[in-house]
């Protein structure tokens, strides 16, 4: 029998996949993912022959280890630089103008090809992922951890690592988790994302735009990212403050309000407006991070990582998981109790 420690990772987004890959060979790792696919907020929705990256729009690469991994992804054709200029559309009316981080704006931007999900799918090739498996709770039993899922208990595991967004991780981790307060003190914003299919040949004077608008703050032409289909289409994000304020409103009303906002910047005919589909991200971006790159409770063999430990970016999710793996690998060599 293998003497490798058994590690359960909850979530197959960038953080969970990065962690699983880094622990490979040091532990017997299994990822539990509640949805049918990997990627989490690196997400792509396909509607007929049109695809929308309706989560992360692009990512930056500053960390050398992130670059090493993504160089290999680029060699395999699943990642490319997105060279589009992001324009700022005229200010309409807003009292709450978020400052633009000009240093970030200068960084080159990258996307998965042909979809944003292509990168996590490529990462997952070497990972053991149980799909459609939502972890409802975890409990300690006879010196090990057992995960409760809709399909029954799974385990035992020596370690459990939660990579779900902070509020979801907080619901899973036991009250005795040493860093529980740091998880609870983290704040995340919602985001409503509108996906609109334009008529063939439709033009917009930009590939992507940041806006100072009371309702929406981002429009991108998804078809102008590398390797996408020819049909013009838009991904439109609502502002974090507006999304939080309207989190529980009926989706048909929110859809109408976002379309009205979009029409202030882009003309739409009725067919284009009718095509609009709305996605609600309850936990999209990080308003207040945990302020530590990861949260590790070695006495209970529990940990958390994810973008929310550092900042709401794909690269931050990678960094959080990589740094947790650096700390975990020596601990995985410790003898069993």
Q: Which is nearer to ligand FAD, 94 or 149 (CB)?
A: 149
Report residue 109 as tokens.
Answer: 């931007």
Q: Which is nearer to ligand FAD, 34 or 323 (CB)?
A: 34
Q: Which residue has the tokens 């430990």?
A: 309
Distance between CA atoms of residues 288 and 59, nearest Å: 20
How many chain residues are in contact with ligand FAD, going by CB under 6 A? Answer: 38
Cβ 237 to ligand FAD shortest distance, Å: 5
Report the residue from 35, 94, 256, 300 that binds ligand FAD according to the rule CB under 6 A: 35
Chain residues 2-31 in contact with ligand FAD, contact rule CB under 6 A: 10-16
Residue 301 as a binder of ligand FAD (CB under 6 A): the answer is no
Cβ 150 to ligand FAD shortest distance, Å: 10
- Residues 193-232: x where in contact with ligand FAD by CB under 6 A, - otherwise, as a string: x---------------------------------------
Report residue 253 as tokens.
Answer: 């009303």
Rounded to 5°, angle at Cα 295 from 244 and 183: 30
| CB atoms closer than 10 angstroms to residue 180 | 17
Cβ 85 to ligand FAD shortest distance, Å: 15
Distance between CA atoms of residues 15 and 316, nearest Å: 9
Distance between CA atoms of residues 108 and 100, nearest Å: 16
| CB atoms closer than 10 angstroms to residue 142 | 7
Report the residue from 110, 122, 145, 281 that binds ligand FAD according to the rule CB under 6 A: 281
Cβ 200 to ligand FAD shortest distance, Å: 26
Distance between CA atoms of residues 135 and 330, nearest Å: 27
Q: Which is nearer to ligand FAD, 210 or 231 (CB)?
A: 210
Report the residue from 8, 29, 40, 323 that binds ligand FAD according to the rule CB under 6 A: 40
For residue 15, which of 326, 322, 248, 282 has the smallest C-alpha distance?
Answer: 322
Q: Which is nearer to ligand FAD, 85 or 333 (CB)?
A: 85
Chain residues 120-139 in contact with ligand FAD, contact rule CB under 6 A: 134-135
Residue 317 as a binder of ligand FAD (CB under 6 A): the answer is yes
Q: Which residue has the tokens 């080159």?
A: 108
| Chain-centroid distance, C-alpha 35 | 13
Q: Where are the alpha helices (DSSP H) in the chain?
A: 14-23, 64-75, 102-106, 118-123, 166-172, 180-185, 240-245, 251-263, 270-274, 314-332
| Chain-centroid distance, C-alpha 135 | 18
Residue 242 as a binder of ligand FAD (CB under 6 A): the answer is no
Stretch that binds ligand FAD, among 40-48, 203-211, 225-233, 249-257 (CB under 6 A): 40-48
φ, ψ of residue 194 in degrees (nearest 5): -105, 135
For residue 136, which of 149, 151, 146 has the smallest C-alpha distance?
Answer: 149
Cβ 195 to ligand FAD shortest distance, Å: 11
Report the residue from 5, 9, 27, 32 that binds ligand FAD according to the rule CB under 6 A: 32
Report the residue from 20, 22, 30, 33 that binds ligand FAD according to the rule CB under 6 A: 33
Which residue ranges make up the site for ligand FAD (CB under 6 A)?
10-16, 32-35, 40-42, 55-59, 134-135, 163-165, 168, 172, 191, 193, 237, 281, 284-285, 306-307, 312-314, 317
């Amino acid at each position: 029998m293998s003497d490798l420690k058994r590690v359960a990772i909850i979530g197959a987004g960038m953080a969970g996949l990065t962690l699983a890959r880094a622990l490979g060979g040091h532990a017997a790792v299994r990822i539990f993912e509640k949805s049918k696919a990997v990627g989490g907020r690196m997400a792509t929705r396909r509607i007929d022959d049109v695809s929308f990256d309706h989560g992360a729009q692009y990512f930056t690469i500053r960390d050398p280890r992130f670059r090493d991994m993504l160089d290999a992804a680029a060699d395999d054709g699943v990642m490319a630089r997105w060279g589009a200029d992001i324009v700022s559309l005229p200010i309409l009316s807003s009292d709450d103008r978020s400052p633009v981080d000009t240093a970030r704006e200068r960084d080159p931007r990258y996307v998965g090809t042909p979809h944003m999900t292509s990168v996590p799918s490529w990462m997952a090739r070497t990972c053991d992922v149980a799909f459609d498996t939502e972890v409802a709770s975890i409990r300690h039993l006879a010196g090990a951890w057992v995960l409760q899922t809709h399909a029954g208990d799974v385990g035992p595991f020596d370690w459990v690592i939660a990579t779900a967004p902070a509020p979801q991780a907080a619901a899973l981790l036991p009250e005795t988790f040493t860093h529980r307060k740091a998880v609870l003190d983290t704040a995340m914003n919602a985001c409503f994302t509108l996906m609109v299919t334009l008529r063939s040949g439709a033009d917009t004077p930009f590939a992507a735009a940041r806006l100072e608008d009371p309702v929406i703050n981002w429009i991108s032409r998804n078809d102008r990212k590398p390797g996408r289909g020819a049909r013009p289409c838009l991904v439109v994000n609502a502002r974090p403050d507006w999304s939080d304020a309207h989190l529980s409103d009926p989706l048909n009303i929110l859809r109408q309000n976002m379309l009205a906002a979009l029409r202030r910047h882009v003309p739409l005919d009725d067919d284009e407006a009718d095509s609009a589909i709305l996605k609600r991200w309850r936990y999209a971006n990080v308003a207040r991070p945990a302020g530590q790159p990861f949260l590790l409770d070695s006495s209970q063999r529990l940990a958390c990582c994810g973008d929310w430990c550092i900042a709401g970016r794909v690269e931050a999710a990678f960094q959080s998981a990589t740094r947790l793996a650096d700390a975990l690998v020596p601990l995985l060599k410790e003898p069993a109790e």
